[in-house]
Chains A and B, each alone.
Chain A
Amino acid sequence: MKYVVRVGDADIDVIIDGDVTIVDGVSRPASIAEVEGTPVRMVTIGDEVHRVVARRGTSRGRYSLWVDGFRHEVEALDERTRFIRELSGASSGPVGPAPLVAPMPGMIVRVAVEPGDVVVPGQGLVVMEAMKMENELRATSAGTVTAVLVQPGTAVEKGAVLLELE
Chain B
Amino acid sequence: MFDKVLVANRGEIALRVIRACREMGVRTVAVYSEADAHAPHVREADEAILIGPAPSRESYLKGDAIIAAALRTGAQAIHPGYGFLSEREWFARAVRDAGLVFIGPPAEAIAAVGSKTAARSLAISAGTPVVPGTTSALRDADEAADVAAQFGYPVLLKAAAGGGGKGMRIVHRREELADALAAAKREAKSSFGDDAVYVEKYIVGPRHVEIQLLGDTHGTMLHLGERECSVQRRHQKMIEEAPSVAVTPELRARMGAAAVAAARAAGYVNAGTCEFLLDAGGDFYFLEMNTRIQVEHPVTELVTGVDLVQWQLRIAAGEALPFHQEDLDPSGWAMECRITSEDPANNFLPSTGRVQYLHVPSGPGIRWDGGIETGSEISLFYDPMLAKLIVWAPTRAAAIARMHRALLELTIEGVDTSRDFHLRVMEDAEFRSGDISIQWLERRLASLLSVQPPREAVLRAAIAAALLAERERSGPQRARRGAESSAVTSTTSPWLQAARLDAIQ
Contact = CB atoms under 8 A, between A and B. Distances in A.
Interface of A: 1, 3, 5, 7-8, 10, 12, 14, 16, 21, 23-24, 30-32, 38-41, 43, 45, 50, 52-55, 60-61, 63, 65-72, 74-78, 103-106, 109, 129-135, 158
A103 B466 contact: no
Contacts of A41: 464, 468
A32 B458 contact: no
Interface residues of B, number: 46
A52 B464 CA distance: 8
B166 interface: yes
Given A31-B467, A69-B408, A133 B166 contact: yes
Given A68-B460, A103-B346, A135-B349, A21 B465 contact: no
> Which residue among B347, B464, B467 has the maximum number of chain A CB atoms within 10 Å of its CB?
B464
Nearest to A50: B460
Contact of A39 (B352, B356, B384, B470): B356
Interface stretch (B91-99, B113-121, B186-194, B287-295): B186-194
Contact of A30 (B345, B349, B356, B463): B463
23 contacts: A3-B470, A5-B466, A8-B458, A10-B458, A14-B465, A16-B466, A21-B467, A31-B467, A43-B463, A52-B461, A55-B413, A60-B472, A65-B461, A66-B411, A67-B457, A69-B408, A69-B423, A76-B468, A103-B346, A104-B352, A131-B383, A133-B234, A134-B187
Contacts of A134: 183, 186-187
Contact of B411 (A10, A53, A60): A53
Contacts of B346: 103
B467 A43 contact: yes
Given A43-B464, A65-B461, A76-B469, 8 more contacts: A14-B466, A41-B468, A65-B464, A66-B411, A69-B407, A74-B462, A76-B468, A133-B234
Given A39-B356, A72-B453, A78-B473, A132 B458 contact: no
B413 A130 contact: no
Contact of B466 (A3, A68, A131): A3
Interface in B339-389: 345-347, 349-352, 356-357, 359, 380, 383-384
Contacts of A130: 350, 380
Contacts of B413: 38-39, 53, 55
B487 interface: no
B471 interface: yes
Contact of B469 (A52, A77, A132, A158): A77
A54 B463 contact: no
Contact of B463 (A8, A21, A61, A109): A21
Contacts of B191: 132
A147 to B, nearest CB: 23
A131 B457 contact: no
B459 interface: yes
B420 interface: yes
Given A38-B357, A69-B408, A130-B350, A16 B460 contact: no
Contacts of A7: 458, 461-462, 465
List 5 A-B pairs, minimum CB-CB distance, nearest first: A14-B466, A76-B469, A70-B453, A76-B465, A32-B467
B349 A132 contact: no
